[in-house]
Amino acid sequence: MGSQKKRNFQIEAFKHRVVVDPKYADKTWKILEHAIHEIYNHNASGLSFEELYRNAYNMVLHKFGEKLYSGLVSTMTSHLKDISKFIEAAQGGLFLEELNRKWADHNKALQMIRDILMYMDRTFIPSTHKTPVHELGLNLWRDNIIHSSKIQTRLLNTLLELVLRERNGEVINRGLMRNIIKMLMDLGSSVYQEDFEKPFLEVSADFYRVESQKFIECCDCADYLKKAERRLNEEMERVSQYLDAKSEVKITNVVEKEMIANHMLRLVHMENSGLVNMLLDDKYDDLGRMYNLFRRVPNGLSTIREVMTSHIRDTGKHLVTDPERLRDPVEFVQRLLDEKDKYDRIIGSSFNNDKTFQNALTSSFEYFINLNPRSPEFISLFVDDKLRKGLKGVSEEDVEIILDKVMMLFRYLQEKDVFEKYYKQHLAKRLLSGKTVSDDAERSLIVKLKTECGYQFTCKLEGMFTDMKTSQDTMQGFNSAHGADLGDGPTLAVTVLTTGSWPTQPSITCNLPTEMLALCEKFRSYYLGTHTGRRLTWQTNMGTADIKATFAKGQKHELHVSTYQMCVLMLFNNADRLSYKEIEQATEIPASDLKRCMQSMACVKGKNVLRKEPMSKDIGEDDVFFVNDKFTNKLYKVKIGTVVAQKETEPEKQETRQRVEEDRKPQIEAAIVRIMKSRRVLDHNNLIAEVTKQLQSRFLANPVEIKKRIESLIERDFLERDNVDRKLYRYLA
Amino acid sequence: MKAKKQGFITQDEWRRGLKALEANSLEKLQRALPALEREVMRPSNFKDFYAFAFRYSLTEERQKTLDIGSICLLLKIVLGSQFRPQVDSFTQYLQMQKEYKVLTFDQWMGFYQFCNEISFPDLNNYDDQLAWPLVLDSFVEWIRQKNN
């Protein structure tokens, strides 16, 4: 004994010795319990916040938090049970009102209680992981009121009934609804969903299923869509007014499914009022509504698009194969343009300029325009008509608009080279007869074609314009050089055409009258004098002449005729009567051309400068012609037989088609050689595919034709087949 | 023998050929013939022989095609034993049609491939989208039309 302990100097906290009254906790709790009662009985004004707070604080401090908490739970629970009975007893419409009122009360009470018990909320509860006061209050409300057996179902049914009444047109108390729904939301999203939203959606689905069935039986498509739209808007408004925002997409899905998705096909195909009828009648509003509604459901828009596409293709197909429509090419093309305009407008105003719809329209046009092999010819004739007279007096901007529309049709053509051939022919006629309404319009179109197809396409066309200009200069030179010699003789206006640029013409025989021969020769030697190494051939089938004629009774007229007609008429300077055979012999004009030319001078009222015996419409081999002494015409200048571009006759069409086919052969060969040169070795199928792709911008290449060209190239040692794999071709340098 | 001209064998060519056969007497030549025939019938050699037959029949300097009549005769000789039905059918077609007056070497070789690859007479595996010469496409179409 005797260990010396070193003692540390410690300062100990001053402990306040409180008398632990065993009944302390009970007493304090009683005070608080009483306060809670008062609060629930709306007697809170008589309470002292400070005192109550202190009491709660002390309980927690002295380790009586558990007692305080469990006391709170049981007190609140018993109050809620009373409230529950009270609410259950409410009759009819008062049920919700009472519920609402009591909920408001509860919240107020809860707030006060929470404030009083804040110390416990902040210390005891977190450390013991118990539910905080406010949340506890909500949970108790949920368990004792909302989920009470007598209230739960009744509450749901009441809410759903109100919604149903409102859907049927009644006015309901939205404010009350909003509060009740908000209560459910405050109690937790699972409460809102399980106790209201899920059943609400189910009931709504049933409701709309029944309603949509009813509507679809008795409404036409447009009406139905209006109703569907209205219901949709209604539901969205409902959500914004008194439901959780998150419900919006769910309820709209229900409406979309029941009212739209389930009846989509029936609506679209409804007889007399469906999509096709709306399209035909340009019902922009209805179509717009359909678009907006259908875009909400899967496959909605594709359904509309498919029906629209097949309708356009059908109408288009009828358009291009209807013989009535094909009589007038200009009208035919105009009808196509009108159809395109119509659908452009529809897509613009009703379908939101939807790109997929525009593409569907384009592919439909591409499909049916090419069903008629004469489409390229007709489009060229349309352009011809516009450039001759249709665009007269039209403003520059409008001209551009029309030309752009024509270009759009042009783009749809598969056989662009056929168009080129006809366009060239028609352009040639326009230029040579001086019948173009606007040089600017002509050039503008050439530029558009160049942009679309490249320089190759238009360089020859531009050559034609150049020839016209050059010829003017040449004539000036000729007249100044020889003008003096001509004196009173006939005057000559020559257009010199470069052979490659202008449409190929077979050389036709035609004997020029003696009066012209000398002059023509003079021009020929003048021209060849200034241009060596060239050859000139008179194109008698393309020329015109102005002849001054004096008839028996003294009538004088100036006749504008074709070169052929001039040759024939000049014969009558030396003879009073001529038989067809004599005329044929003298002029050597080919029979079919000659007959047509005679017809236009002898059989057409107002232009019959000649008289024919017999007076039949057709020209017979034995017919005899005289000058028509009785010829009259109001005008001094009379036009006979202008060279206008016309729809081709059957044999002419065959000829043009043949020429196009011939022209394609070298193009195909050039493509084959180009491809093989770069690839060196290539198999059959790939070669066909590549060639087709390369030529796509001009025409659709026929695989059989390509095969023929390949074989021809093999024959001429441009290509060879591989010895082992005969599918492979090899380029021979 | 690598004889250059059909119907003509130069002395050199004769000598060269017989030397290759190692036949310096008539009996040896006779004995060599059946072996030669078997040799020719071997597929790898036969294709060369078939090609040779065409070229050999070209009589003129720059000639590249054979007239239909000669083609028919030649086919019978060269392929008649192996592919009788095809040869009969094709020669019948060639004589009936009017589009082709001659056949090229490419078409000639194509027919050989046709006989080897295409089941006859059903023609089930013939695809005209492939690289067959057009004359064979037309031939097949003619057969199919006849059968319908």
pLDDT per position as a tens digit, A225-246: 999 999 999 999 999 999 999 9
* Residue B146 sits at the chain A interface (C-beta within 8 Å): no
Contact predicate A686/A727, CB 8 Å: no
Residue B10 has pLDDT above 70, yes or no: no
Residue B1 has pLDDT above 70, yes or no: no
Structure tokens, A598: 């005679």
Angle (CA) A469 A474 A480, round 5°: 130
Q: What is the DSSP-derived secondary structure letter of residue A657? A: H
Mean pLDDT score, B80-105: 90
User: What is the CATH code of the structural domain delimited by A650-731?
Assistant: 1.10.10.10
Pick from A340, A322, A422: nearest CA to A382: A422
- The share of chain A scoring above pLDDT 90, in percent, equals 53
Measure CA of the first residue to CA of the last residue in chain B; give whole Å: 47
* pLDDT at residue A543 in the model: 83
Contact predicate A446/A436, CB 8 Å: no
Residue of B nearest to A711 (CA): B133
Residue A15 has pLDDT above 80, yes or no: no
Contacts with B110 from chain A: Cβ below 8 Å: 726
Q: How far is A218 from chain B (nearest CA, A)?
A: 55
Judge: A707–B104 Cβ closer than 8 Å, yes or no.
no
Q: For residues A70 and A652, which has the higher predicted lDDT (pLDDT)?
A: A70
* Residue B96 sits at the chain A interface (C-beta within 8 Å): no
Residue B29 has pLDDT above 90, yes or no: no
Q: How far is A721 from chain B (nearest CA, A)?
A: 8
Pick from A507, A479, A514, A512: nearest CA to A493: A479
Pick from B77, B82, B41, B74: nearest CA to B55: B74
CA distances from A220 to A269, A405, B139 (A): 11, 36, 60
Structure tokens, B17: 């050929």
Q: Where are the domains of chain A?
A: 17-146, 543-639, 650-731
Residue A712 has pLDDT above 60, yes or no: yes
* pLDDT at residue A515 in the model: 80
Contacts with B104 from chain A: Cβ below 8 Å: 711, 714-715
pLDDT tens digits, A393-431:
888 888 889 999 999 999 999 999 999 989 988 998 888
Q: Residue B72 CB: number of other CB atoms within 10 A?
A: 17
Q: How far apart are CA A75 and CA A81, in angstroms?
A: 10
Pick from A146, A217, A211, A150: nearest CA to A183: A146
CATH architecture of A17-146: Up-down Bundle (1.20)
Q: How far is A713 from chain B (nearest CA, A)?
A: 11
Residue A1 has pLDDT above 70, yes or no: no
Residue A10 has pLDDT above 80, yes or no: no
Contact predicate A436/A430, CB 8 Å: yes
Residues B24 and B69 in one domain: no
The residue with tokens 């190239």 is A713
* pLDDT at residue B77 in the model: 86
Structure tokens, A454: 């490249």
Q: How far is B64 from chain A (nearest CA, A)?
A: 8
Q: How far is A256 from chain B (nearest CA, A)?
A: 49
Q: How far apart are CA A729 and CA A714, in angstroms?
A: 9
Q: How far is A705 from chain B (nearest CA, A)?
A: 10
Contacts with A708 from chain B: Cβ below 8 Å: 134
Q: Pick left, alpha or beta for residue A169 (phi over 0 → left; psi -120 to 50 → alpha; otherwise beta).
A: left
Residue A343 has pLDDT above 90, yes or no: yes
* pLDDT at residue A8 in the model: 73
Contacts with B107 from chain A: Cβ below 8 Å: 711
Q: Which domain holds residue B91?
A: 48-147
Residues B15 and B74 in one domain: no
CA distances from A616 to A207, A598, A620, A695 (A): 82, 12, 9, 51
Number of H helices, E strands in chain A: 31, 9
Residue A708 has pLDDT above 60, yes or no: yes
Structure tokens, A420: 């080129």
pLDDT bin (cut points 50, 70, 90) of residue A643 is very low
* Three-class secondary structure assignment of A324-350: CHHHCHHHHHHHHHHHHHHHHHHHHHC
Q: Pick left, alpha or beta for residue A91 (phi over 0 → left; psi -120 to 50 → alpha; otherwise beta).
A: beta
Q: How far is B122 from chain A (nearest CA, A)?
A: 22
Contact predicate A180/A162, CB 8 Å: no
The beta strands (E) that lie in A50-180 are given as none
* pLDDT at residue A491 in the model: 83
* pLDDT at residue A275 in the model: 94
The residue with tokens 């069903």 is A371
Residue A362 has pLDDT above 90, yes or no: yes
Residue positions counted in chain B: 148
- Averaging pLDDT over each range in A178-182, A487-491, B39-43, which range is the top one? A178-182
Using only C-alpha atoms, chain B has a radius of gyration, in whole angstroms, of 18
* Residue A703 sits at the chain B interface (C-beta within 8 Å): yes
pLDDT, chain B, mean: 82
* Residue A482 sits at the chain B interface (C-beta within 8 Å): no
pLDDT bin (cut points 50, 70, 90) of residue B9 is low
Mean pLDDT score, B10-31: 68
Structure tokens, A149: 């057996």
A28-32, A136-140, B28-32, B54-58: segment of lowest average pLDDT? B28-32
Mean pLDDT score, A493-509: 83
Using only C-alpha atoms, chain A has a radius of gyration, in whole angstroms, of 49
Judge: A685–B104 Cβ closer than 8 Å, yes or no.
no
Mean pLDDT score, A506-527: 85
Measure CA of the first residue to CA of the last residue in chain A; give whole Å: 123
* Residue A726 sits at the chain B interface (C-beta within 8 Å): yes
Task: Give the phi and the psi of residue A395 in degrees, each rounded to 5.
Answer: -65, 160
This prediction's pTM = 0.75
- The helix (run of H) or strand (run of E) holding residue A224 is helix A221-242
* pLDDT at residue A5 in the model: 62
Structure tokens, A60: 């927690």
Judge: B134–A683 Cβ closer than 8 Å, yes or no.
no
Residues B18 and B59 in one domain: no
Q: How far apart are CA B114 and CA B120, in angstroms?
A: 9
* Residue A702 sits at the chain B interface (C-beta within 8 Å): no
Contact predicate A172/A162, CB 8 Å: yes
Residues B138 and B94 in one domain: yes
pLDDT bin (cut points 50, 70, 90) of residue B17 is low
Number of structural domains (chain B) is 2
* Residue A114 sits at the chain B interface (C-beta within 8 Å): no
pLDDT, chain A, mean: 89
Judge: B134–A715 Cβ closer than 8 Å, yes or no.
no
Pick from A124, A140, A105: nearest CA to A56: A124
* pLDDT at residue A194 in the model: 94
Mean pLDDT score, A19-46: 84
| Mutation target among A715, A716, A722, A730 for the B interface, most CBs of B within 10 A | A715
Q: How far apart are CA A104 and CA A111, in angstroms?
A: 11
* pLDDT at residue A215 in the model: 94
Residues B72 and B141 in one domain: yes
* pLDDT at residue A79 in the model: 92
Residues B113 and B88 in one domain: yes
A409 CB-near residues (< 8 Å, 6+ apart): A333, A336, A337, A340, A365, A369, A379
* Residue A439 sits at the chain B interface (C-beta within 8 Å): no
User: What type of residue is A35?
Assistant: A
Judge: A726–B110 Cβ closer than 8 Å, yes or no.
yes
Residues B54 and B86 in one domain: yes
Residues B54 and B92 in one domain: yes
Contacts with A683 from chain B: Cβ below 8 Å: 131
Residues B32 and B67 in one domain: no
Mean pLDDT score, A73-88: 92
Query: 3-state class of A681 per DSSP?
Result: strand
Mean pLDDT score, A352-365: 95
User: What type of residue is A207?
Assistant: F
Q: How far apart are CA A118 and CA A112, in angstroms?
A: 10
A57 CB-near residues (< 8 Å, 6+ apart): A119
Residues B10 and B66 in one domain: no
A543-639: CATH topology is Ribosomal Protein S5; domain 2 (3.30.230)
Contact predicate A611/A628, CB 8 Å: yes
* Residue B17 sits at the chain A interface (C-beta within 8 Å): no
Residues B62 and B132 in one domain: yes
Residue of A nearest to B110 (CA): A726
DSSP sequence for A278-305: HHHTT-HHHHHHHHHHHTTSTTHHHHHH
